[in-house]
Amino acid sequence: MEKRVLILGSTGSIGRAAAEVCRSLGERVRVVGLAALRSWELLAEQAAEFRPPAVALVDEAAARQLRQRGCGGAAVLSGPESLVELVNRAEADLVLAAIVGAAGLPATLAAVERGLTVGLANKEPLVVAGALLVPIAQRSGATLIPVDSEHSAIFQCLQGNRRADVKRVHLTASGGPFRTWPIERMEQATLADALRHPVWSMGPKITIDSATMMNKALEIVEAHHLFGLDADQIDVLIHPESIVHSMVEYLDGSTMAQLGVPDMKTPIQYAMTYPARCNGITQPLAWESIRALHFEAPDRARFPAINLGYEAARRGGTAGAVLNAANEAAVDRFRNGRLAFGQIARVSGELLARHAFRAQPTLEELLAADAWARREVEECVAC
Ligand code: NAD
Ligand code: MG
């Protein structure tokens, strides 16, 4: 049966991989909407290929260019509200949330409120507001299908088992470009160093998050919300080969793992075809050429971000929103050459420690905590 798919963030790394998956799935999917920030030329190409009835661009000037060029007959929505509008008007069986950052929260929330099935690559909205999003999904009947590779692995390993029988999960991490670097060298790592990921090819923000391992911190909070796990049920393991995408350990001592080549098209396709599986474009593992799989505990002294993820998952409330926003703002400053690499986790930790914590925040309070953390990072003179 044909699935109608709406791709938010279609011009990014995940969005482009999703387009490839749609192309390969052919008649099994129909793209009913595409959205991005400002890359109008690529959006025009995608619209010409997939012929969705509507597209959205947040940036007004880019949207004007797109309208002038013509967009394969698609209506072009624009402005800051356009993504929510697209979600609310689209007839979609799956909304693929692939925007980067907390900016994806309003559209994800709109999809969840509508009770739609959401393929979640965009982890930051869950980190900010998972305590609100998950109960809303339960009430509206929305299904959240993780696309983040570790969480997709856990989701797959949970199929056919009882949640109550889970002892803990092991989130694997490649360790990023600085896995073996001494701390002094990491402190002053350049943007080019941080963008040189050994395994995954991804957008710049998550690539830097992998270098600090803040990505794993965000994923701890993500797993906590998605699977209802306590922080101490979530273990992090460095696995440089990135072949075991994560594992679920059950009460009886059995551990289920999901393995595959490191390619986001696998979890994207799984979200699109779930609960079925179809022929994929990802190569299967070549078992004979795998000599060894390595696992080790992360070095918390060199990667202090990991502790922050545990702290945010444990404290709940506004902690996730502050950690995420502080990190987004610190990563922006690092990318602009205005912050040393080592400061990203340090500043995020300081703000997490000294923010005005609220245990049961409303959405407005979460957004206020997010805005406060961004301001603090931006105005930080000592940084
Ligand atoms: P990216 O930077 O390559 O792409 C981001 C997309 O979002 C683009 O289409 C861009 O136009 C759009 N966008 C950015 N800011 C926006 C805004 N303010 N409003 C509307 N649209 C906006 O990022 P990516 O690497 O594709 O990552 C997307 C999300 O998926 C992130 O949350 C990331 O953590 C997650 N993720 C990515 C990967 C990966 O392999 N790239 C793996 C796991 C999880
Ligand atoms: Mg991941």
Summarised one tens digit per residue, pLDDT across range 114-172 is: 999 999 999 999 999 999 999 999 999 999 999 999 999 999 999 999 999 999 999 99
* Backbone phi and psi for residue 79, each to the nearest 5 degrees, phi listed first: 100, 175
- The preferred substitution site among 202, 270, 374 for testing ligand 1, maximizing ligand atoms within 8 Å of CB, is 202
Q: How far is the CA of 379 from the centre of ligand 2 (A)?
A: 30
59 and 120 share one domain: yes
CA 316 to chain centre: 19
Asked if residue 271 is part of any domain, the answer here is no
61 and 13 share one domain: yes
- The preferred substitution site among 13, 124, 150, 214 for testing ligand 1, maximizing ligand atoms within 8 Å of CB, is 13
Instruction: Give the closest residue (by CA) to ligand 1 atom 36.
Output: 121
- Does the pLDDT value for residue 306 go beyond 80? yes
Question: Mind spelling out the 3-state secondary structure of 104-137?
Answer: HHHHHHHHHHCCCEEEECCCHHHHHHHHHHHHHH
Please tell me the distance from the alpha carbon of residue 111 to that of residue 63, in angstroms, as a whole number. Answer: 23
250 and 212 share one domain: yes
Asked if residue 187 is part of any domain, the answer here is yes
How big is the chain, counted in residues?
383
Q: Looking at the whole model, is its pTM more than 0.85? A: yes
142 and 170 share one domain: no
Q: How far is the CA of 150 from the centre of ligand 2 (A)?
A: 5
Q: Which residues fall inside 5 Å of ion ligand 2, going by CB?
A: 148-150
Report the nearest atom of ligand 1 relative to the CA of 202.
41
Instruction: Give the closest residue (by CA) to ligand 1 atom 18.
Output: 103
CATH code (residue 101): 3.40.50.720
Please tell me the distance from the alpha carbon of residue 59 to that of residue 36, in angstroms, as a whole number. Answer: 9
Instruction: Give the closest residue (by CA) to ligand 1 atom 42.
Output: 148
Instruction: Give the closest residue (by CA) to ligand 1 atom 4.
Output: 12
Q: Which pLDDT band holds residue 70 (cuts at 50, 70, 90)?
A: confident
Confidence at residue 14, expressed as pLDDT on a 0 to 100 scale: 98
Q: Which domain holds residue 302?
A: 163-261+296-382
The string of pLDDT tens digits covering residues 199-253 is 989 999 999 999 999 999 999 999 999 999 999 999 999 999 999 999 999 999 9
Return the exposure string of 322-355: e unless at least 16 CB atoms fall within 10 Å of the residue's CB, then b: bbbbbbbbbbbbbeeeebbbbbbbbbbbbbbeeb
What does the radius of gyration of the chain's CA atoms come to, in whole angstroms? 20
236 and 306 share one domain: yes
Ligand 1, residues at Cβ distance < 6 Å: 9-15, 36-37, 39, 58, 83, 98-100, 103, 121-124, 148, 200, 202-203, 205-206, 264
Please tell me the distance from the alpha carbon of residue 8 to that of residue 15, in angstroms, as a whole number. Answer: 7
Asked if residue 156 is part of any domain, the answer here is no
Q: How far is the CA of 122 from the centre of ligand 1 (A)?
A: 7
Structure tokens at 154: 């856990």
Asked if residue 289 is part of any domain, the answer here is no
Strand residues in 116-200 grouped as ranges (E): 117-120, 143-146, 166-173
Q: How much of the chain is in helix, strand and coil states, percent to nearest 5?
A: 50, 15, 35
98 and 126 share one domain: yes
73 and 168 share one domain: no
Is 167 in a helix, a strand, or coil?
strand
Q: Which pLDDT band holds residue 381 (cuts at 50, 70, 90)?
A: confident
227 and 175 share one domain: yes
Asked if residue 155 is part of any domain, the answer here is no
Asked if residue 291 is part of any domain, the answer here is no
Domain boundary among 146, 173, 189: 146
Counting Cβ atoms within 10 Å, is residue 143 exposed (0-12), middle (13-18) or buried (19+)? Answer: middle
**Average pLDDT along the chain:** 97
Please tell me the distance from the alpha carbon of residue 179 to that of residue 320, in angstroms, as a whole number. Answer: 25
Structure tokens at 270: 């799984």
Confidence at residue 1, expressed as pLDDT on a 0 to 100 scale: 73
Q: How far is the CA of 208 from the centre of ligand 1 (A)?
A: 13
Instruction: Give the closest residue (by CA) to ligand 1 atom 20.
Output: 37
48 and 106 share one domain: yes
Is 360 in a helix, a strand, or coil?
coil
- As for how many domains the chain has, the answer is 2
Q: How far is the CA of 14 from the centre of ligand 1 (A)?
A: 7
75 and 218 share one domain: no
User: Taking the CA of residue 343 as centre, how many other CA atoms within 13 Å lie in the half-sphere pointing to its CB?
Assistant: 19
Structure tokens at 309: 């993820």
Q: Which pLDDT band holds residue 341 (cuts at 50, 70, 90)?
A: very high
142 and 184 share one domain: no
Q: Residue range 1-20: average pLDDT?
A: 96
Confidence at residue 72, expressed as pLDDT on a 0 to 100 scale: 83
Asked if residue 175 is part of any domain, the answer here is yes
Cβ atoms of 299 and 180 closer than 8 Å: no
Q: How far is the CA of 184 from the centre of ligand 1 (A)?
A: 30
Asked if residue 90 is part of any domain, the answer here is yes
Q: How far is the CA of 233 from the centre of ligand 1 (A)?
A: 28
Instruction: Give the closest residue (by CA) to ligand 1 atom 39.
Output: 202
Strand residues in the chain grouped as ranges (E): 3-8, 29-36, 54-57, 75-78, 94-97, 117-120, 143-146, 166-173, 234-238, 244-250, 255-259
Dihedral angle sign, alpha carbons of residues 157, 162, 163, 169: negative
Distances in Å between the Cα of 313 and the Cα atoms of 105, 174, 233 are 18, 21, 11
At what angle are helices 105-113 and 124-140 packed, to 10 degrees? 10
CATH code (residue 329): 1.10.1740.10
226 and 306 share one domain: yes
Q: How far is the CA of 264 from the centre of ligand 1 (A)?
A: 13
Is 308 in a helix, a strand, or coil?
helix
Please tell me the distance from the alpha carbon of residue 184 to that of residue 341, in angstroms, as a whole number. Answer: 11
Please tell me the distance from the alpha carbon of residue 318 to that of residue 359, in angstroms, as a whole number. Answer: 7
